[in-house]
Amino acid sequence: MKRILIIFGMLLVAFTGCRKLDENPANFISPENFYRTRSDAIAAVTAAYAPVRNNGFVTRNYAILGEITTDNMFPLPNNNDRVQLDNYVHTPTNGILRETWTNFYQGIAYANNVIDRVPAINMDENLRARLVGEAQFLRAFYYYHLVRLFGDLPLVTKALKSLAELEYPKRSPKADVYKVIIDDLKAAESVLPPTYSGADRGRATKGAASAFLASVYLTQKQYQLAADKAAEVMAPASGFGYGLWDDYADVFDIKNEFGKEAIFDAQFVSGPAGQGGNLIAFFAQENNAVGGRGFGSFQPTQELYDAFQVNDKRKAIFFTKGTDNKYYCNKWIDADAKTENQSDNNYPLMRYATVVLTFAEAYNEVHTPVDDNDAYKAINSIRQRAGLPLFSGLTQDQLRDSILNERRLELCFEGERWFDLVRTGLLESTLKAKGTANIKPYHVLFPVPQFEIDLNQNLKPQNTGYPD
């Protein structure tokens, strides 16, 4: 799939899920004139993948909302929206929040088009079912990010058939949103293949659906379900072929993209087609030659760097020291990216190590720790690769804290930290310890973008703590 051109302009007008549009019907592309052939179906699904990588320019909003808002990173003070989020003084007018909301709802609109219209196309039944399953996975992916960021949401699960149907949806309780997410992931699981080959590599697989289901269950504190689902992904008999690379240098090496640790990525490919990435430039030192020119936009905290033990093998892979004697993220480096937007690096949104740590956490919540039980085996597989001593003799609380810390170290810069702190109830205490004086209990959700509320008053009331 990495070599498939992302197509935007050929689908029904996409909407954010919250606005009453007044476009000229002459510009409206009739679905009856598009959803007719096998090629139409494939193009529609391909377009539904686009918002995965378009979450901010070159996917940067994953890192901004998942890392800069935590004790892991801080922004260069040249962008007010990022500084607001870092200092927890963000408001409903924050541009990053609006961009994220709009992008993911566009993805939901694309997915709804596929789910509602592709089943009527006369084509190979197995391919048709797979394409619909991919769209169900993508809709779940988009809603899963949105519900954790914003809470109650407009729940839009039907394709728009005409401009006359545009309306002002209200926000549904997040429990209803999670039900749609789980139902979609289960449906995707039932039809998606375990692997792909050739140009289709990188599409959603059965394993990706299962891995995200495990994450959803963990977020909802359904620990037995989370452990069971993660165990399915980890089982050799699953046929997924996932595993940990022995050497950390192999985990993020471009030659190993779509390898045994990759489950679902935002994809980039260098070359003249305009599909290259530039996220490495945001992580690199300002005015560094990386990617043509480093921006220095996302910088690791010294505290994160110090959290890695001296003998942790990840430390040398994850960080590089700049000429200013500060440390910068070094996870995704493409030595061939000499100019802007030419990086070939994918950005991981779910990898096998995440599933292993999800299993360890969930299993520990439902079993009293016994040395070398399955929770220990899981987390120790991560520590062994890092060259660290194996855990033993911990209480359940100690093991819980150790697993969360291991998630921080293993998954740093991958957009997971904010979600982990919210999920475990540690956001406020962690950020206060960092020195973020403005953090409040209500910051476990972001505000609904004011732009959306201005278009649709049914989105009120605003999330607690933010101006209405």
Long-range contacts of 148-154 (CB under 8 A, 24+ apart): 148/219, 148/419, 148/422, 149/65, 149/97, 149/100, 149/445, 149/446, 150/101, 150/445, 150/446, 150/447, 150/448, 150/463, 151/445, 151/463, 152/177, 153/17, 153/177, 154/17, 154/18, 154/105, 154/456, 154/459
Q: Are 336 and 277 in contact (CB under 8 A)?
A: no
Confidence at residue 32, expressed as pLDDT on a 0 to 100 scale: 67
Confidence at residue 240, expressed as pLDDT on a 0 to 100 scale: 94
Per-residue pLDDT tens digits of the chain, which is 468 residues long: 543 333 333 333 333 444 333 334 444 456 666 889 999 999 999 999 999 999 998 899 999 999 999 999 999 999 999 999 999 999 999 999 999 999 999 999 999 999 999 999 999 999 999 999 999 999 999 999 999 999 999 999 999 876 666 788 999 999 999 999 999 999 999 999 999 999 999 999 999 999 999 999 999 999 999 999 999 999 999 999 999 999 998 999 999 999 999 999 999 988 766 688 889 999 999 998 888 889 999 999 999 999 999 999 999 999 999 999 999 999 988 878 878 888 888 999 999 999 999 999 999 999 999 999 999 999 999 999 999 999 999 999 999 999 999 999 999 999 999 999 999 999 999 999 999 999 999 999 999 999 999 999 999 999 999 998
Torsion angle in degrees (nearest 10) through CA of 74, 77, 81, 84? 60
Q: Are 398 and 45 in contact (CB under 8 A)?
A: no
CA distance 284 to 291: 9
CA distance 227 to 217: 9
Locate the domains of the chain by residue range: 1-192+438-468, 279-345
In the block, tokens 């299962």 appear at: 210
Strands, DSSP E only, in 296-389?
298-300, 319-321, 327-329, 347-351
Confidence at residue 141, expressed as pLDDT on a 0 to 100 scale: 98
Listed residue (194, 115, 122, 96) closest to 156, CA to CA: 115
| pTM exceeds 0.75 for this model | yes
Half-sphere exposure of residue 410, counting CA atoms within 13 Å on the CB side?
29
CA distance 449 to 341: 29
CATH number attached to the domain at 1-192+438-468:
1.25.40.390
257-285: b or e for each residue (b if 16 or more CB lie within 10 Å)?
bbbbbbbbbbbbbbeeeebbbbbbbbbbb
Token representation of residue 309:
């033990």
DSSP character for 67? I
CA distance 317 to 326: 15
CA distance 449 to 169: 15
Strands, DSSP E only, in 293-353?
298-300, 319-321, 327-329, 347-351
Strand 347-351, strand 319-321: pairing: unpaired
For residue 281, the Cα-to-chain-centroid distance in whole angstroms is 19
CA distance 206 to 138: 12
Token representation of residue 30:
């009739």
Confidence at residue 447, expressed as pLDDT on a 0 to 100 scale: 98
CA distance 194 to 208: 9
CA distance 208 to 202: 10
CA distance 20 to 166: 6
If you count them, how many residues does the chain have? 468
Confidence at residue 69, expressed as pLDDT on a 0 to 100 scale: 98
Confidence at residue 300, expressed as pLDDT on a 0 to 100 scale: 98
